[in-house]
């Protein structure tokens, strides 16, 4: 831990430089990681096949390494110094307006840029609750808990008790965080298109919004170039999500796609978003976008 704390003190541009090297080491290592990154990016249609996609792939490899290394700074630096890494928050006034109107706030944060900065910043201002699945390694679990439960942040389990905690937080007009681009567990999702391919998509956001009347926002933590910090972009979800689970999941995925197209190099392309969870039947036909 002492070594990690020392590394965390390095300037962010230096950490990001190290991260680029780490990203390439991981990409070039044996295994399925490189093919998944490449195939997910190419199949998404966010770039034109050829030089455009090759350039974007190189950028994405470097950004993926930055995403790992920068966690040292985000989790281990003094909290007040971490918050200073947020340089701009365009659209945050919409969150303030929702809170002023007495509404709970649902932060929908895709795996873009330094998404860990979102809960750090929100929890510095207001109570914030998010689900947390402990990693298998006790050391990493300790590190993540210490890094994430700062300010007014509370972590809850990824089970029914955690869902109840999220619901209670919204009813108290507090904020919660949801990662929308993870594969739902069996029985907790529906198939919906994501970049033209079926993805088993969580339905929790629509359910929580319907029960509480909370306001929902996509938030993307853009990683600024040359280690200058982060910009948090807030994009309100206009109108309530549909009551129909499939329609709501489709709308969430469409929103994630729009955000990814704004910051394609900073998306987590290595994630197997289209896998089928155990016990879940494949869709009869590809859903229509």
Q: For residues 277 and 116, which has the higher predicted lDDT (pLDDT)?
A: 116
* Token couple for 49: 């096949």
Are 76 and 8 in contact by the 8 Å Cβ rule? The answer is: yes
SS3 272: coil
CA separation, residue 271 to residues 16, 34, 64, 87, 274 (Å): 21, 11, 11, 28, 9
What pLDDT digit, counting tens, does each position of 244-272 carry? Answer: 999 999 999 999 999 999 999 999 999 99
**pLDDT for the residue numbered 212:** 97
pLDDT band at 30 (very low <50, low <70, confident <90, very high): very high
Q: Is the pLDDT of residue 288 over 60?
A: no
User: How confident is the model over 119-126, as a mean pLDDT?
Assistant: 97
SS (H, E, C) 121-148: HHHCCCCEEEEECCCCCHHHHHHHHHHH
**pLDDT for the residue numbered 278:** 83
Could you please report the per-residue DSSP string of 219-266? EEEEE-GGG--EEEEEEE--SPPPSSHHHHHHHHHHHHHHHHHHSGGG
Residues composing the chain = 289
What pLDDT digit, counting tens, does each position of 174-217 carry? Answer: 999 999 999 998 678 999 999 999 999 999 999 999 999 999 99
**pLDDT for the residue numbered 285:** 54
């Amino acid at each position: 831990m002492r070594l990690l704390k020392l590394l965390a003190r390095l300037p962010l541009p230096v950490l990001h430089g190290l991260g680029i090297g780490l990203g390439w080491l991981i990409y070039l290592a044996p295994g399925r990681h490189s093919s998944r990154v490449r195939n997910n990016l190419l199949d998404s249609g966010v770039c034109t096949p050829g030089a455009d996609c090759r350039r974007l792939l190189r950028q994405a490899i470097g950004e993926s390494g930055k995403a790992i290394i920068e966690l040292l700074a985000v989790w281990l630096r003094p909290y007040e110094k971490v918050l200073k890494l947020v340089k701009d928050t365009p659209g945050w006034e919409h969150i303030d307006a929702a809170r002023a109107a007495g509404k709970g706030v649902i932060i929908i944060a895709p795996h873009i840029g330094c998404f860990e900065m979102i809960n750090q910043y929100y929890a510095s201002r207001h109570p914030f609750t998010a689900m947390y699945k402990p990693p298998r390694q006790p050391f990493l679990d300790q590190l993540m808990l210490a890094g994430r439960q700062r300010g007014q942040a509370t972590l809850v389990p990824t089970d029914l008790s955690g869902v109840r905690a999220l619901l209670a937080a919204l009813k108290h007009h507090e904020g919660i965080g949801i990662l929308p681009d993870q594969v739902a567990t069996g029985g907790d999702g529906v198939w919906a298109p994501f970049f033209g391919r079926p993805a088993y998509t969580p339905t929790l956001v629509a359910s929580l919004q319907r029960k509480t009347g909370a306001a929902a926002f996509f938030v993307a933590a853009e990683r600024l170039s040359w280690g200058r910090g982060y910009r948090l972009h807030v994009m309100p979800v206009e109108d309530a999500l549909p009551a129909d689970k499939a329609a709501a999941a489709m709308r969430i995925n469409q929103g994630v796609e729009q955000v990814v197209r704004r910051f394609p190099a900073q998306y987590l392309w290595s994630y197997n978003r289209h896998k089928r969870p155990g016990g879940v039947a494949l869709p009869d036909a590809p859903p229509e976008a």
